[in-house]
């Protein structure tokens, strides 16, 4: 019984929210206000603020770029007999991959380019942390937090730059 009452309450709140967004979008369209969000311009309610397609495209691009750069640079430095060459290649690959991921996510996002870049970077950092832990990495909490902060800053900044290039 409680569940049915809650479901009815939620349904009425959802209907109110949809009608509220429709009213706003009709006002925006009727006054001729230019907006960058196609959902508002087409009188459809905006129910989500995260474009998963942009985030997934950024993750795919970042992972591929990171792998290619890490393998190429790490292999080259190993051939040149540089101390810790593969490690330098890996770190450089991860940083370049984060920047590429944020750029693609920010470029494909309709709005909130920096936010899409940050989400993409944080997701890639999570993937890197999981792979490192499964591989037996003794990384400390400070190292994990540093990677998360660095990924948010780098991918968010490149997403912001990509959004500025669109305008």
Query: For the segment 121-165, what is each residue's pLDDT rounded down to a tens digit?
Result: 999 999 988 888 898 888 888 988 999 999 999 999 999 999 887
**Is 113 inside a domain boundary?**
yes
Domain count within the chain: 2
Q: Are residues 63 and 139 in the same domain?
A: yes
Domain presence at residue 87: yes
Question: Is residue 16's pLDDT more than 50?
Answer: no
Question: Taking a C-beta distance cutoff of 8 angstroms, is the pair 94, 149 a contact?
Answer: no
Closest CA to 144 of 159, 133, 153, 157: 133
Query: Is the domain of 97 the same as that of 142?
Result: yes
129 located within any domain? yes
pTM: 0.68
Same structural domain, 90 and 132: yes
The mean pLDDT of the chain is: 78
Same-domain status, 37 and 56: no
For residues 80 and 155, membership in a common domain is answered with yes
What average pLDDT score do residues 54-83 get?
93
Q: pLDDT value at position 167?
A: 57
Same domain, 28 and 90: no
Whether residue 148 sits in one domain with residue 116: yes
Residue 46 maps to a domain? no
Domain housing 122: 52-166
Residue 117 pLDDT level (bands cut at 50, 70, 90): very high
- The region that residue 82 occupies, defined by phi over 0 for left and psi between -120 and 50 for alpha, beta otherwise, is beta
| 166: confidence class by pLDDT, cuts 50, 70, 90 | low
Q: In the predicted model, is pLDDT for residue 21 greater than 90?
A: no
- Please check whether residues 72 and 13 belong to one and the same domain: no
State the pLDDT confidence band at 69, using cuts at 50, 70 and 90. very high
Note whether 90 and 161 are same-domain residues: yes
Considering only CA atoms, which of 57, 153, 39, 140 is closest in space to residue 106? Answer: 57
């Amino acid at each position: 019984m409680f569940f049915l009452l809650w479901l009815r309450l939620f349904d009425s709140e959802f209907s109110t929210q949809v009608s509220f967004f429709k009213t706003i979008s009709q006002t925006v369209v009727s006054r001729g206000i230019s907006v960058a969000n196609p959902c508002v311009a087409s009188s459809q309610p905006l129910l989500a603020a995260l474009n998963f397609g942009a985030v997934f495209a950024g993750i795919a691009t970042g992972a591929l770029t990171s792998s290619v750069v890490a393998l190429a640079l790490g292999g080259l430095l190993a051939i040149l007999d540089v101390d810790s060459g593969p490690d330098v290649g890996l770190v450089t690959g991860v940083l370049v991959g984060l920047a590429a991921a944020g750029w693609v996510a920010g470029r494909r996002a309709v709005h909130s380019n920096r936010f899409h870049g940050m989400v993409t970077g944080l997701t890639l950092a999570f993937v890197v942390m999981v792979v490192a832990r499964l591989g037996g990495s003794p990384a400390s909490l400070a190292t994990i937090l540093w990677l998360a902060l660095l990924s948010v800053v780098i991918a968010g900044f490149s997403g912001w730059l990509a959004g500025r290039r669109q305008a």
